[in-house]
Structure 1
Amino acid sequence: MLNLVLIPALVVILLLLIFSGIFVVRQQTAAIVERFGKFTSIRNSGLQLKIPLIDKVAGRINLKVQQLDVMVETKTKDNVFVKLKISVQFQVIRNNVYDAFYRLENPSDQIMSYVFDVVRAEVPKMKLDDVFERKDDIAIAVNRELNQAMEDYGYDIIKTLVTDIDPDVQVKSAMNRINAAERDKVAAEYDAEADRIKIVAKARAEAESKRLQGQGIADQRREIARGLEESVDVLNNVGINSQEASALIVVTQHYDTLQSIGEQTNTNLILLPNSPQAGSDMLNNMVASFTASNQIGEAMKEHNKKLPDKKSRKSSDKE
């Protein structure tokens, strides 16, 4: 009866011992096996065996590429506080799994310490604008320092990135205002330039219009003078002297003007004087004006001729 109880118990214990000596290591993972607390071997992915009750799996190391994000707050050269997010991508070196497991208690804290040290040494040398422009230099400095420090512990620093730069809220607001003001300034300059171009174009158009208008008036007057000359020649050929011809032309233009005004139904224009002898009076007045003008011109010429003689006489008297 006792044997019937012991045999199944022994079988169960034996099976438990066998199964305790079998373990599985997942892909991209390494297992550390110890015997009585002392390192024995490193087991890679797959089905593995160990001595039950003697060997034990002390820990597992992840061989995948891992990323650690570190937020660092520091001050720039122009006394602006800024937060930088540093992303460190690292991986355990397969040949140095022993060092990675036994030499560092917490690799993440070690990496963070180096990141803080490098960033707080580099950023205070730069102004805020330089931090944005030279963020790659900061990443390279952090990566170089980490590689030198972590390689001895079995870690390879693959890439270091500055993924975010976050200045103080008030500084960001001021920067946004400066940027907006700069854009408003550029927009105002473009608007002013556009207005200047419009004004210049309009002035040129007006100048060209006035030039053409003046040329048209000159051509018109030239043709009128030529027509008057031809009219006087024609009238002289039929025995009418120049004064009579001029009177006839003035009267004709006077009545042509009256006819042109009469054709306008909605006009308030009144031509004065409007008597039959108005044309003749106008001609007489014009002739009298021309005669008076000629007389004044001749008198001024005679006066100007006498002035040099008087000056010469005065100078001779003084001598």
Structure 2
Amino acid sequence: MDLNIPLYVFLFFALFIFFSSFFTVKQQTAAIIERFGKYQSIRHSGLQLKIPIVDKIAGKINLKIQQLDVIIETKTKENVFVKMKVSVQFKVIQDKVYEAFYKLEYPHDQITSYVFDVVRAEVPKLKLDDVFERKDDIAIAVKRELNEAMTTYGYDIINTLITDIDPDIQVKNAMNRINAADREKSAAEYEAEAGRIRIVAKAKAEAESKRLQGQGIADQRREIARGLVESVDVLNKVGINSQEASALIVVTQHYDTLQAIGADANSNLILLPNSPQAGSDMLNNMVASFTASNQVGEAMKRAKAFDKTEKKSTPKPPTPPHLPESGDVEGYDSTK
């Protein structure tokens, strides 16, 4: 029985040695093997073998792409403080696992320091509006600086992104007010332009309406004049002279107007004079005025004709005799 105890111990030790000789490494991971504290080798994914007790796994490094978010507070050229969030995507170069594991102990802190340095060197050169517009340029500058520094330590910077720019709350409110004022200004300008267009269009429409209305009135009056001429011609043919015909037409239009006014029950228009004898009085007055007008016209024509006759019959005054020059006084004959 006592002899079996060493056997069990030996078997246990053998199994321990056997199982400790094998280990596995996950995909996209690298294991660093040290022998008595000294670097021995790098093992990649799969089943691996090491010498028990002599070799040990010093550590494992993730070969996947990682992201580090860095929040930085800095100021712009006009002394406006902003908070910026910079996302750095990086990974360990597969051929430089040794440098990544032994040369740099805290890669996140190192990357953060470089991001702070670049951002605080670039942003103070720009105004706040330019920071928003040129954030890609800042991200490129961060990536360039990080690549130059981190490649030595076995890290590759895949990309850098500025994912957030947050100014001070008071500055943000002021920017919102400025933006709102600009939009209100643009809206007022558009409304004013729309009002101007409506006014111009309305004025053009009114002008066109007045033009067409005037043209219609002119056409109406032209047709009325033609009708009056035809009416006068018809009355002349039955022995009524032009004066009486014109007066008769005016009186007829007077009665037509009275009839049109009476046809509208809601009309409050009064035509003066509107007495029963107004028509006959108007006819007599117009005939008398036309007759007097013709007599005055004939008298003026005779007066003009008489003036022309008098001017033709009046003799011209005699032409004065020719006087000699001062040097010819002695030879001048006064009897001539």
- Per the TM superposition, whether the score is higher than 0.5 is yes
* Amino acid corresponding to residue 15 of structure 2 in structure 1: L
Given residue 135 of structure 2, which amino acid in structure 1 is its aligned partner? Answer: K
- Mapped to 1, the partners of 2:82 and 2:287 lie a distance apart of 92
CA apart distance, 1:94:
1.2
Q: What are the within-5 Å matches in structure 2 for residues 25-104 of structure 1?
A: 25-104=25-104
Deviation by residue 1:24-66 (Cα, 9 ceiling, x = unmatched): 1111111111111111111111111111111111101111111
Give secondary structure in 1 for the equivalent of 2:87. Answer: strand
Shift of 1:282: 3.5
Distance 1:282 1:176 in 2: 81
What is the match of residue 130 of structure 2?
Answer: 130
1:230 to partner: Cα distance: 1.9
Structure 2, unmatched stretches of 5+, are 305-336
1:10 alignment partner in structure 2 = 10
Whole-angstrom distance in 1 between the partners of 2:288 and 2:154: 121
Q: Which residue of 2 aligns with 1:206?
A: 206
Give the partner amino acid of 1:265: A
Post-superposition offset of 1:270 = 2.4
SS of alignment partner, residue 23 of structure 2: strand
Aligned-residue RMSD, C-alpha: 2.2
Q: Aligned partner of 1:131: which letter?
A: V
Counterpart Cα distance in 2 of 1:116 and 1:286: 112
The letter of the residue matching 2:102 is Y
Quote how far apart the aligned CAs of 1:286 are: 9.3
Report how many residues are paired: 296
Deviations 1:105-149 (A, max 9, x none): 100100000000000000100111111111111111111111110
Normalising by structure 1, what TM-score?
0.87
* Per-residue deviation, 1:288: 4.6
State the distance in 2 between where 1:27 and 1:204 align: 80
Amino acid of the residue matched to residue 204 of structure 2?
A: R
Q: Which residue of 1 aligns with 2:268?
A: 268
Q: TM-score, normalised by structure 2?
A: 0.83
Partner of 1:310: none
Runs of 4+ more than 4 Å apart: 285-291
Instruction: Kindly name which structure, 1 or 2, has the bigger radius of gyration based on alpha carbons.
Output: 2
Among the aligned pairs, what percent are the same residue?
74
Instruction: Give the AA of the match of 2:238.
Output: V
Quote the offset at 1:163 in angstroms. 1.4
Q: C-alpha distance in 1, partners of 2:217/2:25?
A: 106
How far the C-alpha of 1:280 sits from its partner, in A, is: 4.3
Residues 243 and 287 of structure 2 are in contact (CA less than 8 Å); yes or no, is this contact kept in structure 1? no
Aligned equivalents of 2:261, 2:180: Cα separation in 1: 64
**3-state DSSP class of the match of 1:88?**
strand
The 5-angstrom pairing of residues 187-226 of structure 1 reads 187-226=187-226
